[in-house]
Amino acid sequence: MKLYQNPKRTTWSELTKRPSIEQNILEEGVRTIMQDVERNSDNALYRYTQLLDGCSLDNLEVTQKELEDATVSEELASAIDKAYANIEKFHRSQLVEEPKIETTPGVTCWRKSVAIEKVGLYIPGGSAPLFSTILMLGIPAKIVGCSEIVLCTPPDTNGNINPAILYTAKRVGITKIFKVGGAQAIGAMTVGTKSIPSVSKIFGPGNQYVTKAKELALEKGVGIDMPAGPSELLIIADASADPEFVAADLLSQAEHGADSQVILVSDSEELIKRTKDAIERQLKELPRKEVAQKALNNSLSVSLENLSACLDFSNAYAPEHLIINTENVNKLASNVINAGSVFLGNYSCESAGDYASGTNHTLPTNGYARNYSGVSIDSFVRKITYQEITADGIRSLGPSIELMAEAEELQAHKNAVSVRLKALNNE
Amino acid sequence: MKLYQNPKRTTWSELTKRPSIEQNILEEGVRTIMQDVERNSDNALYRYTQLLDGCSLDNLEVTQKELEDATVSEELASAIDKAYANIEKFHRSQLVEEPKIETTPGVTCWRKSVAIEKVGLYIPGGSAPLFSTILMLGIPAKIVGCSEIVLCTPPDTNGNINPAILYTAKRVGITKIFKVGGAQAIGAMTVGTKSIPSVSKIFGPGNQYVTKAKELALEKGVGIDMPAGPSELLIIADASADPEFVAADLLSQAEHGADSQVILVSDSEELIKRTKDAIERQLKELPRKEVAQKALNNSLSVSLENLSACLDFSNAYAPEHLIINTENVNKLASNVINAGSVFLGNYSCESAGDYASGTNHTLPTNGYARNYSGVSIDSFVRKITYQEITADGIRSLGPSIELMAEAEELQAHKNAVSVRLKALNNE
């Protein structure tokens, strides 16, 4: 972690820039895969699964028996239950019934949240089964009542899906699970194949191929949860913070990937120094220490004159995760402008939100916290507006509409009101 | 309007397809303009304004004096006031304060809506001043408290902006107005120039160059309101509907542009026939009859066996605007799945929502009603999640987090909890 001592504000835009990611070289390859899926349906999926996942499948869909057989240890099942309950409780609290509003006598307007009918969840494969993401995406989809929830995840070389993934999907109530990964999975959910239904919105993390495929899905009219980027954490800590905790939090983010970014901002150079020492100690014990070390090389610590400047720096960076570990968190917390999710105090570690506290872990990275929210109940619905206007309502509001339509030179818009006013006058 | 009598459901996916739009030929030109703006800042803007709008400006920003001088007729001012009040009332009703939720004792989670700091509004030029869109975008931006609201709109050949646009902007409280249109305006708000600040999200309609530029802005990390497409209306009407009203509503949509689409779905062939006659009569009187006629050529009427099938057809089409003009609207209304905005009954014409009833007129077109909502208060905020965990909270939840992190093979995630539990045990 490179240390910047009291960097001038004019340098902040440079300091808060994300490391640039190579792009575009992928596009052609991903486009080819997706076109192949569109043309050759399941055949293309079997072919790519053989080629890229190294397994030959008889069936793309996970069978009822495979689902039934999937188990995890009792302890893990109980941990998943606790996480499930918290995530469900918090996400249910986001359901709101909005009132009908009579904006003018006889003119009533309202909004209604309606579940997106068909959604697709992508869960990456690899050595570690990211079953927590199934909770984060599946629970809100279930709460709002999406009528079709499809899950795609790549199989291992034996054609199996990790039992923790299957168990969690079953626990959430997702039963349409397909052994397909990568760009071909996104392609299948975008256009639909013989086995895999097309969906209206695709959620979930993935490697650069999946990310590019989601961008191309967007071009085809499918919604996506949000643009993807490497995970990131910014911590604001003062002298009251425990350097061991701060170090552990920074490392928990750094282990995600070599391209993760972690930033420590503090008004205390002593805290920065002690955290650095703690990182060195803790790093040695980590199985993913090489990944974490690479991420730390991309990362920075910044000392600033006071906590208010620290928060300004954080708002300029717009972190996905923001931990505020200071003596008095409330004032800083109330002035956060740009962040995905905020963790307050000495005991609110990011891992809690990643797994089990109740908040969603699918959050805007790469500065997108300036203009995107994380996944929530809102991500799985459309808010449809309604209006009902009575004869009195159009009598009262009609002349204003006529005037405005005329001023915009849209005579037929005016006429839609005029024919009604005329009919009412003739009654 | 082509009539389809009881088309089989297997043909619906073909019938509900939008007319395809040519694309991509624009991309290179638009990309060049945006790169030019990035490199040459205001100079590029002056140059394109000369070239494309035919006027040579001394100043890109509308002056205080120009704003002060902008007036509209007293009648129009009063109509705008009424629309303003309704739009403000309805959008304010969308503000919600969500409760803090203790998901587990000692673990508290909540969300807070925070305004996007900098937003840009694009208002097209052309013969008719679309001042109503300033109300629809400016009022919610003001309600949530965006700290910077920038408006770009092209000048006429004399370098002036239509007074109705300036008046409405002033009325809403938008004072940073720039005389720049087209892709160059979107480029300026994306990267920022000497005069025009960069923004985090761009809203507003525009021609195909503006639409393409907004797509490219998205690639650069700027948010946009939603993907654009031609405007569209689907009406479900039964024998109780007044064919004059139905015809007027269809025409009010058809006059928008030759690429607009209007669809009438009914269980009554008689109503379809009488509406067709009324369209012919009304069309003759319209100043924009040629545009409307072209749109009608793209359009269809569909007779189906009953109203429930009509609603199924509408849900398959996912219209931007849906008018339900039937004897009993409630049952149909409650089963709408895919639509941008719904208008109920004989007096709820689309023009009302376009201008003055209170709902927003920036809505998802082109089938995007399946996965996008229209513009609302939500479009101008991020919902940031917060959590605060006490020592007791981490004691109780910590072991579950440790188990889940371990199962995902993320040891540093586990360790962020373990260091805290260890410290608490040592106390």
* Contacts with A, B 284-303, CB within 8 Å: 285-288, 292
* Contacts with B, A 109-138, CB within 8 Å: 109, 111, 114, 116-117, 127-132
- Residues B47 and B179 occupy one common structural domain: yes
Q: Nearest-CA distance from B266 to chain A in Å?
A: 19
Is A420's CB within 8 Å of B347's CB? yes
- The two beta strands, B381-389 and B107-115, are antiparallel
pLDDT of residue A228: 87
| pLDDT tens digits for range A268-306 | 999 999 999 999 999 999 999 999 999 999 899 999 999
Q: Which of B80, B403, B406, B424 to mutate to test the interface with A (most CBs of A within 10 A)?
A: B403
- Residues B221 and B308 occupy one common structural domain: no
Residue B354 belongs to some domain of the structure:
yes
Domain of B293 in residue numbering reads as: 230-373
pLDDT of residue A24: 63
- The two beta strands, B321-325 and B232-237, are parallel
- Residues B238 and B219 occupy one common structural domain: no
Q: Name the 3-class secondary structure at A258.
A: coil
CB contact B95 to A (< 8 Å): no
Task: Give the one of A86, A114, A288 whose C-beta lies nearest to B103's C-beta.
Answer: A86
HSE-CB at B373 with a 13 A cutoff on CA atoms is 23
| pLDDT tens digits for range A233-258 | 999 999 999 999 999 999 999 999 88
Listed residues B225, B256, B285: the one ending a domain? B225
Is A386's CB within 8 Å of B342's CB? yes
DSSP string covering B87-140, please? HHHHHHTT--PPPPEEEETTEEEEEEEEE-SEEEEE---SSS--HHHHHHHHHH
Other Cβ atoms within 10 Å of B45 Cβ, number: 27
**Spatial separation of the C-alpha atoms in residues B195 and A221, rounded to whole Å:** 35
Contact B397, B104 (CB under 8 A): yes
pLDDT of residue A69: 96
Question: What is the interface pTM, i.e. ipTM, of the complex?
Answer: 0.96
Residue B220 belongs to some domain of the structure:
yes
Lowest pLDDT segment from A22-36, A99-113, A188-202: A22-36
Report the mean per-residue pLDDT for chain A.
95
Q: Which of A273, A265, A260, A249 is nearest to A332 (CA)?
A: A265
Listed residues B225, B260, B291: the one ending a domain? B225
Contact A184, A48 (CB under 8 A): yes
Residue A102 belongs to some domain of the structure:
no
Amino acid type, B1: M
Residue B105 belongs to some domain of the structure:
no
- Residues B250 and B198 occupy one common structural domain: no
**Per-residue pLDDT for chain B (427 aa), expressed as one digit of tens each?**
899 999 999 999 999 998 776 666 788 899 999 999 999 999 999 999 999 999 999 999 999 999 999 999 999 999 999 999 999 999 999 998 899 999 999 999 999 999 999 999 999 987 678 999 999 999 999 999 999 999 999 999 999 999 999 999 999 999 899 999 999 999 999 999 999 999 999 999 988 899 999 999 998 999 999 998 899 999 999 999 999 999 999 999 999 988 899 999 999 999 999 999 999 999 999 999 999 999 999 899 999 999 999 999 999 999 999 999 999 999 999 999 999 999 999 999 999 999 999 999 999 999 999 999 999 999 999 999 999 999 999 999 999 999 999 999 999 999 999 999 999 998 7
pLDDT of residue A427: 79
Lowest pLDDT segment from A16-20, A88-92, A264-268: A16-20
- Residues A286 and A356 occupy one common structural domain: yes
- Residues A55 and A198 occupy one common structural domain: yes
- Residues B30 and B159 occupy one common structural domain: yes
- Residues A213 and A337 occupy one common structural domain: no
**Spatial separation of the C-alpha atoms in residues A238 and A272, rounded to whole Å:** 9
A214 pLDDT above the threshold of 80: yes
pLDDT-based confidence at A128, cuts 50/70/90? Answer: confident
- Residues B328 and B348 occupy one common structural domain: yes
Listed residues A196, A225, A254: the one ending a domain? A225
Amino acid type, B328: N
CATH number at A256 reads: 3.40.50.1980
Q: Name the 3-class secondary structure at B235.
A: strand
Q: Find chain A residues with C-beta within 8 A of B368's C-beta.
A: 221, 223
Q: Which of B205, B370, B378, B223 is nearest to A222 (CA)?
A: B370
Write the CB contacts of A80 (distance below 8 Å, at least 6 apart in sequence): A72, A131, A135, A167, A168, A171, B404
* Contacts with A, B 216-245, CB within 8 Å: 221-223, 227, 242, 244-245
pLDDT of residue A22: 62
Q: Find chain A residues with C-beta within 8 A of B410's C-beta.
A: 128, 252, 255-256, 288
Is B382's CB within 8 Å of A399's CB? no
Q: Nearest-CA distance from A178 to chain B in Å?
A: 21
Contact A144, A174 (CB under 8 A): no
Residue A14 belongs to some domain of the structure:
no
Residue A379 belongs to some domain of the structure:
no
* Contacts with A, B 302-341, CB within 8 Å: 329, 333, 336-341
H/E element, B324: strand B321-325
Residue A8 belongs to some domain of the structure:
no
Q: Which of A355, A383, A402, A418 to mutate to test the interface with B (most CBs of B within 10 A)?
A: A355
Contact B416, A368 (CB under 8 A): no
Q: How many domains does chain A have?
A: 3
CATH number at B421 reads: 1.20.5.1300
Task: Give the one of A348, A384, A423 whose C-beta lies nearest to B388's C-beta.
Answer: A348
* Contacts with A, B 186-215, CB within 8 Å: 200-201
pTM higher than 0.90 for the full model? yes
Task: Give the one of A344, A352, A412 whose C-beta lies nearest to B397's C-beta.
Answer: A352
Is A408's CB within 8 Å of B132's CB? yes
Residue A6 belongs to some domain of the structure:
no
- Residues A184 and A306 occupy one common structural domain: no
- Residues A412 and A328 occupy one common structural domain: no
CB contact A352 to B (< 8 Å): yes
Task: Give the one of A82, A244, A405 whose C-beta lies nearest to B355's C-beta.
Answer: A405
- Residues A311 and A332 occupy one common structural domain: yes
Q: Which of B385, B402, B408, B424 to mutate to test the interface with A (most CBs of A within 10 A)?
A: B385
Is A412's CB within 8 Å of B130's CB? no
* Contacts with B, A 52-91, CB within 8 Å: 72, 75-76, 78-80, 82-83, 85-86, 89-90
CB contact A407 to B (< 8 Å): yes
